[in-house]
Amino acid sequence: MKLVTFVHNTVLRLGALCVRDGREVVVDLHSAEPRLPADMLTFLRQGEEVRHIADAVVARSIGGVALEEVQLKAPIPNPGKIICIGLNYRDHAAETGQPIPEYPTVFSKYANAVIGPDEPIVLPRVSQRVDYEGELGVVIGRRGRYIPEDRALDYVAGYLVCNDVSARDFQKRTSQWTIGKTFDTFAPMGPALVTADEVVDPHALDIRVYVSGELMQSSNTRNLIFSVPYLVAYLSQVMTLEPGDVILTGTPGGVGDVRTPPRYLQPGDEVRVEIAQLGVLRNPVISETAPS
């Protein structure tokens, strides 16, 4: 199932993205079945029972609102935690001159940075070196602490496409990266949360990033240094993971900062992040001083 958060007739709703008669539609889950919640976080917190109900609703549904008539938002508009992993592809570690990490490099983004599909990445007036980073996002579906690695995928609700937008000049001012990572609009996510049952192996997904039509990053999640189960287990040693928390698993090589010459985002660009089975996340790029 492809779960989405969407706006229709000015109301924020929870839906399922489906194909009906060759066109994409969104089924409003709460309207179709009042037992289902109307928002993503509540849906995830209620666990397996509501997911089975939602599956049944989608299976029997024959209608829906045309995708072009709704506005998709970030699937989880206000995640409790956005936990990011740096240097988790060997080629990206190599291109930045960093050694292969012995343990995951962890930093954070905050909910202020979250935007959805087609919403603009805003270039802050104080930074001249804003970069793209396409990433696989992992969404937690069950509360857990000290999760065994061999059971970690049981705690994953699903996966989504993410972009860890980064102001490199701010990021590199200190050894702590968060300040360069969590400007407003620097965490595009979407278009959908694809439930874990639809992704047989999260470590076999092609990932590509295009900037204004030019291919910049091309890899596969099999090249992750630290796997999804390892990351879930490792992080849960430190913090209780909650439904709706998002883990960004790192970006492959090809970022703009290490290119010759560097390729930073400019007003008028469009960033397109594609991950097999999960969809395409597009975001235009605008200047902070430009009218929105």
The beta strand positions in 213-289, using DSSP E, are 214-220, 246-248, 270-275, 279-287
| Domain shared by 124 and 62, yes or no | no
User: What does the pLDDT average to over 24-29?
Assistant: 95
Which stretches within 96-198 are classed as H helix? 168-171, 178-181
Asked if residue 9 has pLDDT above 70, the reply is yes
- Over pLDDT 90: what percentage of the chain? 90
The whole-angstrom distance between residue 86's C-alpha and the CA centroid of its chain comes to: 15
Q: Residue 177 belongs to a domain with what CATH number?
A: 3.90.850.10
Q: Per-residue b/e over 261-290, b at no fewer than 16 CB within 10 Å?
A: eebbbeeebbbbbbbeebbebbbebbeeee
Strand partners, 205: none
Instruction: Tell me which of 54, 73, 92 is where a domain ends.
Output: 73
The predicted model gives 131-149 an average pLDDT of 98
Domain extent, residue 227, equals: 82-287
Distance between CA atoms of residues 159 and 225, nearest Å: 18
Residue 291 confidence (pLDDT) above 60: no
Domain membership of residue 292 (yes or no) is no
Q: What is the pLDDT of residue 38?
A: 95
Q: What count of other Cβ atoms lies within 10 Å of the Cβ of residue 207?
A: 23
The pTM of the full predicted model, rounded to 2 decimals, is 0.95
Q: Give per-residue pLDDT as tens, 208-265.
A: 999 999 999 999 999 999 999 999 999 999 999 999 999 999 999 999 999 999 999 9
Structural domain ending residue among the three candidates 45, 73, 101: 73
Residues 14 and 104 in one domain: no
Query: Mean pLDDT over residues 151-176, rounded?
Result: 97
Residues 113 and 54 in one domain: no
Mean of per-residue pLDDT scores for the chain: 95
Q: Are residues 62 and 188 in the same domain?
A: no
pLDDT surpassing 70 at residue 55: yes
Question: What total number of domains does the chain contain?
Answer: 2
